[in-house]
A and B are shown apart, each in its own frame.
Chain A
């Protein structure tokens, strides 16, 4: 079969049009999230001659071979992995920051110091009712701040649990969307724009999923993906067109555990892991603060017992409760502070039991205990912030590296635009030449 100049030119013009379309599409999507630069791959259409006609020239122009997505699977995996780490770090740091505020802003430390110093002040004159009232009021303040701290910590914990529960909902939504995308991918024909769009969607969903938990992804030839939650050695989340439901269980102390289809899974990345870590720290801090509150209650009440109050009665319990939330002031009568030794004269200024109370409190050293709790949470947070900073830099670099490779460079597209425009014009010229040749042939007769 001989060549047809006009049809070659037509295919050339068509290819140039496709090139222009792809370029325009790239320019239009320069800032679309998850859009990966397309490039049109052209291929020559030519055939060798048939039997006995080996020398024949048989050129038929050009055709579109495929639309290539310039995606680098490695860089995408890096973005997912580092993004997962950053999401974990961010969620944990945010949670810890709330917890730190809950404990620090409640002013427990200052209240404990105030209580201690009011006891010390009372030594100046143990029977002075205004000094005694100051002790009772400082005790009330301390109890109040412990309660506030407990409430704020609970609120911080509830916030984290809410975020985690929403995260699980998102994971399930994304997993089912991925399963649907997988189904459609397995049906889409190769190199169709439908398929490239589906692949974009798949990668975008994977990246979103990695924000919530660390995932392991295995890609099949047809573009479908099998996803494991909890890294490459985790549990199957999406296989082909099916997604397994992820669940979350909240323990009595507020800590979280996750499962995929009922089997427990350990997450090492993603916001869910961060919230899990922060809640674990919160549970430990709650135990610490509750323990401190209980110790103060026990030590103070025990020391009260060894003395007489202002009316000569044995000291009664001043505090009650076993946790920061339940700690209360059982007595608000200023005469009930047992500052005098047992069986001393009524109204005695002898401060030996006050000294015993102060010794017991100073052995317990609640201010130091609170300082350690504050140091624990702020030290942890400071460490996490440093780690987070490093993770963000790494993730930012990975993100930039990916978008540098797969994103749209407007300058390059400007060049492509001119290139395809010129190709289109050149094909038009070929058509004109073909027409002229045809006219010339007609003119012979």
Chain B
């Protein structure tokens, strides 16, 4: 504030009022910062920082969605992994049964009995291929909304889903396939020919139950089943690496989120120690101004004239 000599009484009061008001306003601003914990009360306090804070808050919202998506993909893939393990178990059991059936020491009627069990297992395989995920969609049906497999009139299983599994966005342009489709692991090549596990199981069951030629069919099926098991374990490896990919992305997301939070605190947060010191300073000056004002205001020549 400028100093003017030879002042008038009203000028003195006016100037004191201006100074005291400015100090009080400053103190109140600091107080508002402290009580809200935010340096910015409104955008115009610091437009650049406010804009940055808006962007950070936006990224935070998107990040939460990405987190939810990652959780969902993880649960889908874990379900897939579990289902694949069961597939593998069933195929192993099929291998055992085929080995038994291939032996020449058992009779055709015994093979028929084995064939019934194979039929059961094959039904289980179809049911397993129609597993639903957490949201009630076909786990192996890709992006179709109905069941993945259906049986036609001849009892042959056919795939009704889409070619590719859906993908889930993990943020920053990274995606992950939410699972595997049925054909991706149920269809494989064996002995140079394309094979379908569900068809192989059906053919085996039919051959064993037909009574003749069951031993050679079982013998032939052994190799095919071996390749089928391999196809399933390969799919499990793929699922496992996808889960790893999600973990990797989650870690990245979390570290980015931490960076964001610290930037938020830096840009928009309020340093309590600094604010308290500033408030103390302002209050001290304010008190001194008030004291000197009351002293000066009492200083009237009229008091001295008697």
Contacts and interface: CB of A to CB of B under 8 A. Distances in A.
B147 to A, nearest CB: 12
A418 B304 CA distance: 12
- Chain A interface size, as a band, is 35 or more
Contact of A382 (B8, B46, B169): B46
Interface in A119-167: 120-121, 123-125, 127-128
A197 interface: no
Interface stretch (B37-45, B95-103, B190-198, B224-232): B37-45
B109 interface: no
Interface stretch (B52-60, B77-85, B119-127, B211-219): B52-60
B254 to A, nearest CB: 18
A410 B61 contact: no
A222 interface: no
B258 interface: no
Nearest to B8: A407
A283 interface: no
B18 A378 contact: no
Interface in B10-60: 10-11, 13-15, 18, 42-48, 50-51, 54-55, 57-58
B145 interface: yes
A75 to B, nearest CB: 11
B69 A121 contact: yes
A403 B301 contact: no
A400 B144 contact: no
A408 B13 CA distance: 12
B2 interface: yes
Interface string A402-413: 011111111100
Contacts of A407: 8-11
Contacts of B54: 109, 371, 374
Interface stretch (A184-192, A235-243, A322-330, A343-351): A343-351
Name which of A37, A382, A415 has the most chain B CB atoms within 10 A of its CB. A382
Contacts of B284: none
A contact patch SS: helix
A414 B305 contact: yes
A176 interface: no
Contacts of B44: 96-97, 100, 377-379, 381-382, 385
Given A378-B50, A410-B302, A404 B61 contact: no
A396 interface: yes
Given A109-B54, A371-B55, A375-B47, A408 B8 contact: yes
A356 interface: no
Contacts of A250: none
Contacts of A405: 8
Contact of A128 (B47, B48, B58, B135): B135
B169 A408 contact: no
A37 B8 contact: yes
A401 interface: yes
A124 B72 contact: yes
B43 to A, nearest CB: 3
A408 B7 CA distance: 9
Given A347-B145, A403-B10, A410 B301 contact: yes
A124 B57 CA distance: 22
A284 to B, nearest CB: 16
B166 interface: yes
A123 B72 CA distance: 11
Given A113-B58, A120-B169, 13 more contacts: A123-B168, A124-B168, A125-B137, A128-B135, A348-B143, A350-B166, A351-B143, A375-B47, A385-B44, A396-B15, A400-B2, A409-B9, A411-B301
